[in-house]
Amino acid sequence: MILNALNDLYSRLADDSSYEIAKPGYSPQNISFRVVLRPDGSLFAIQDARIRDDKGKLRADKQLVLGEAKPSGSGINPGFLWDNFAYMLSYKKDDPKPERTEKSFHAFRDAHLKVEQTINHKQFSTVCRFLENWSAELAAQYIAEHPELDELTTGFGIFSIQGETKSVNEQYEILSWWDNREPASDATTGQCLITGAESVPIARLHPKIKSVAGAQSSGASLVSFNAKAYESYGKDQSFNAPVSEKAAFQYGTALNSLLNGPKSTKHRIRIGDTTCVFWTDKPSVIEDVFGIFASEGSNAQVQDENLRSKVEILLKQIQLGAKASSQLDEDPEQTRFFLLGLAPNAARLSVRFFHQSTVAELLAKLRAHHQDINIVREWDTPKGKRLADPEFPAYWQLLSQTARVADEIPPLLGGALMRAILENTHYPEALYAAVLRRIRADRTINYYRAAIIKGVLTRNHKQTISVMLDTENKEPAYLLGRLFATLEKTQTDALGELNAGLREKFYSSASATPASVFPRILRTYQHHLAKLSGGQKVNRERLVQDILADIPASGFPTNLNLKSQGIFALGYYHQRKDFFTKKDTSN
């Protein structure tokens, strides 16, 4: 399904010039130099082909060349009318293996001479004459005379003819031959598992996928076979899972475009160790806003006014449950949405998750998620440099609450959480347990942690949790959380902010073994209460007594299980938020 969806995506991206998609048999390459030849095939010059970017820095010029990108470790594999110094000129700076460089040049030369008569083009023959007469000695001599070329020797180059405006690889006749050439006689043919096409050349090696965080910089394989254990029916390498060369090129090109193409920032997000790409089967507003929405939340500082408007429309439809309309997408019931999560695995890629649905289904699932985690915000307005808490927390903001730093987030937790959100299934219990561990470690119950706890208890355990303080909730754990927050606030009002107050000293034990803690802190509460004055003292004592009145006559529980500890945290969070919420006294 993944390869099929990416193969279908290729056609859509190829029709959109802004994605700069190469057609089958071609690839974009970073060109750093140009070998300029005289019409007789002698060398005129090796020129710097780099261009200056917006900052004035020289960088390689991305150009479309004949042939696909060469995977690393593919042996001697010459390009066609393009390659590096070793293949094109038999030269490598400080070469530790000159014999291999010479073999590379000979392979490049022989591959071109072999098809010279078939192509029968004047400029191509000029290149062949150059290759016949060139040598490693001439290359070394030329580079010695032009030391400024040293920094280009690791890049890719192309051929040009003196006085011609187009490079050799851009000539119409050569391009026409390339597009219509016969497959190699030794190519393995079969039926493609993706397209169903029969008797087509089967890809021996699949494309390298680049820009997956943590994977090899040269690229990693999504499909790869490298051992006898993965071979069957006498078919080695990838021939036992046949994908045509065309389909392999198309799915690889489409995926690489999403990961590192000119619009990759729109399609790619990073969550923990997982690199996620998303797309729709037709142009959709969801493609524009989902990345912002998933990675930055509803308080994202979007500069583009049009994009900000789209984000606001999406949030409104999620919050209000409005049926997806033409404001968001013309046909949300039919537009397909795809999300793919990839993680590094040595020279290969692991698929953490793959989700597909319609845009309308996606909106419904996001709304269900929003309803489950919806809780009063700790900071509903900005204060100083602190941003307001988002109405809809981003996925990564929830996941980050499970560990001190991103590197410590359990690798499989991200995929499990994403599946729960997009498929409206139970949230992973590991998420809940991890958040409680973090609360015990740093005694912090913030908006995101409260939202996670509420979401898990609501969806997984069918608990009814209110968005704001619920004074009618008689759950013992909830009451104890409220009581602890009230005792802490009384201490703060009496003594001011302390380096180690009740929360720092007693929260962990109070939420796990209340009977061993509350009698003690209730005694100190009397001392703190005595320091309050007037109506504040009366109101605080009334609140404490109201809470205690609903605690079972049997007294404080000996211990609270994990579920009850989460309810305790919500009672604490709700009560503290209520303390710092301005009350309406107009009535």
**Could you report the per-residue pLDDT of 148-170, keeping only the tens digit for each?**
898 888 899 999 999 999 999 99
In this structure, of 174-178, 309-313, 536-540, 576-580, the range with the lowest mean pLDDT score is 309-313
**pLDDT surpasses 90 at 138:** yes
| Mean pLDDT, residues 341-363 taken together | 89
**pLDDT surpasses 90 at 270:** no
Q: What is the pLDDT of residues 31-43, one digit of tens each?
A: 999 999 999 999 9
Q: What is the dihedral of CA 56, 58, 62, 63, to 10 degrees?
A: 110
**pLDDT grade for 543, boundaries at 50, 70 and 90:** very high
- The per-residue DSSP string of 174-197 comes to HHHHHHHPPPPTT--EE--TTT--
What is the gyration radius of the CA atoms in the chain, in angstroms? 32
Strand-pair partners of 30: 62
Q: Which pLDDT belongs to residue 300?
A: 58
**pLDDT surpasses 70 at 325:** no
CA 156-343-255 angle, 5° bins: 50
Q: Long-range contacts for 581-585 (Cβ within 8 Å, ≥24 apart)?
A: none
Q: What is the pLDDT of residues 35-68, one digit of tens each?
A: 999 999 999 999 999 999 888 899 999 899 998 8
Q: What is the pLDDT of residues 283-303, one digit of tens each?
A: 888 888 888 777 766 665 555
Q: What is the pLDDT of residues 242-257, one digit of tens each?
A: 899 899 999 999 999 9
Q: Mean pLDDT for the chain? A: 88
Q: Which pLDDT belongs to residue 481?
A: 96
**pLDDT surpasses 90 at 345:** no
The rounded distance, in Å, linking the Cα atoms of 438 and 404 is 8
**pLDDT surpasses 80 at 326:** no
Strands 336-345 and 348-358: antiparallel
Nearest 5°: phi and psi at 204? -80, -40
Report helix, strand and coil shares of the chain as percent, to nearest 5: 50, 15, 40
**pLDDT grade for 184, boundaries at 50, 70 and 90:** low
Tokens of 357: 């649905």
Q: How much of the chain exceeds pLDDT 90, in percent?
A: 57
**pLDDT surpasses 70 at 548:** yes
Tokens of 393: 């927390």
**pLDDT grade for 20, boundaries at 50, 70 and 90:** confident
**pLDDT surpasses 70 at 193:** yes
Q: Which pLDDT belongs to residue 304?
A: 62
The rounded distance, in Å, linking the Cα atoms of 346 and 348 is 5
Q: Which pLDDT belongs to residue 489?
A: 94
Higher pLDDT, 328 or 370: 370
117 and 177 Cβ atoms separated by less than 8 Å: no
**pLDDT surpasses 90 at 441:** yes
Q: Which pLDDT belongs to residue 330?
A: 61
**pLDDT grade for 322, boundaries at 50, 70 and 90:** low
**pLDDT grade for 123, boundaries at 50, 70 and 90:** very high
210 and 259 Cβ atoms separated by less than 8 Å: yes
**pLDDT surpasses 80 at 141:** yes
Q: Which pLDDT belongs to residue 307?
A: 67
